[in-house]
Amino acid sequence: MAVPSRRRAGVVVALLAVLLGPAVPASAGPPSPHDGGPTAGEGELLVIGHRGASGYRPEHTLAAYELAARMGADYVECDAVSSADGVLVCRHENEIGGTTDVADHPEFASRRTTKVVDGVSLTGWFTEDFTLEELRTLRAVERLPDVREENTLYDGLYAVPTVEEFLDLRADLSRELRREIGAYVETKHPTYFDSIGLSLEEPLVEELDEAGLDRRRSPVFLQSFETGNLRELDRLVDVPLVQLLSASGAPADLVAAGDPRTYADLSTAAGLAEIGGYADGVGPEKNQVIPRLPDGSLGEPSSFVDDAHAADLLVHPYTFRNENTFLPTDLREGGDPADYGRAIEEQLAFWATGIDGMFTDNPDTGVVSRELAAEVVPAA
CA atoms within 13 A on the CB side of 130: 28
Question: What tens digit of pLDDT does each residue of 229-246 get?
Answer: 999 999 999 999 999 999
Domain count, the chain: 1
Give residues with Cβ within 8 angstroms of 234, minimum separation 6. Answer: 34, 35, 241, 278, 279
With respect to residue 103, please indicate whether it lies within any of the assigned structural domains: no
Contact 74, 48 (CB under 8 A): yes
With respect to residue 139, please indicate whether it lies within any of the assigned structural domains: no
C-alpha 168/C-alpha 157 separation (Å) is 20
pLDDT given for residue 378 in this prediction: 53
Question: What tens digit of pLDDT does each residue of 145-160 get?
Answer: 999 999 999 999 999 9
pLDDT given for residue 199 in this prediction: 97
With respect to residue 314, please indicate whether it lies within any of the assigned structural domains: yes
Res. 377 pLDDT band, cuts 50 70 90: low
With respect to residue 133, please indicate whether it lies within any of the assigned structural domains: no
C-alpha 116/C-alpha 20 separation (Å) is 45
Q: Region 340-362: what's the mean pLDDT?
A: 98
C-alpha 264/C-alpha 246 separation (Å) is 8
Round the average pLDDT of the chain to a whole number and report it.
Answer: 91
* Domain at 252, CATH number: 3.20.20.190
Please report, rounded to a whole number, the percentage of residues in the chain having pLDDT higher than 90: 86
Res. 132 pLDDT band, cuts 50 70 90: very high
Across the strands, what pairs with 146? none
With respect to residue 365, please indicate whether it lies within any of the assigned structural domains: yes
With respect to residue 184, please indicate whether it lies within any of the assigned structural domains: yes
Res. 181 pLDDT band, cuts 50 70 90: very high
Q: Region 120-137: what's the mean pLDDT?
A: 98
> Phi/psi of residue 117, each to 5°?
-120, 120
With respect to residue 148, please indicate whether it lies within any of the assigned structural domains: no
Task: State which residues form the domain around 28.
Answer: 8-81+161-376
Nearest CA to 310 among 282, 291, 284, 290? Answer: 282
pLDDT given for residue 40 in this prediction: 56
Class of residue 331 by CB neighbours under 10 A (exposed 0-12, middle 13-18, buried 19+): middle
With respect to residue 131, please indicate whether it lies within any of the assigned structural domains: no
Q: Is the per-residue pLDDT at 261 higher than 50?
A: yes
Q: Is the per-residue pLDDT at 332 higher than 70?
A: yes
Q: Is the peptide bond before 319 cis (omega within 30 degrees of 0)?
A: yes
Q: Region 169-181: what's the mean pLDDT?
A: 98
- Sign of the Cα torsion 32, 37, 39, 42 reads positive
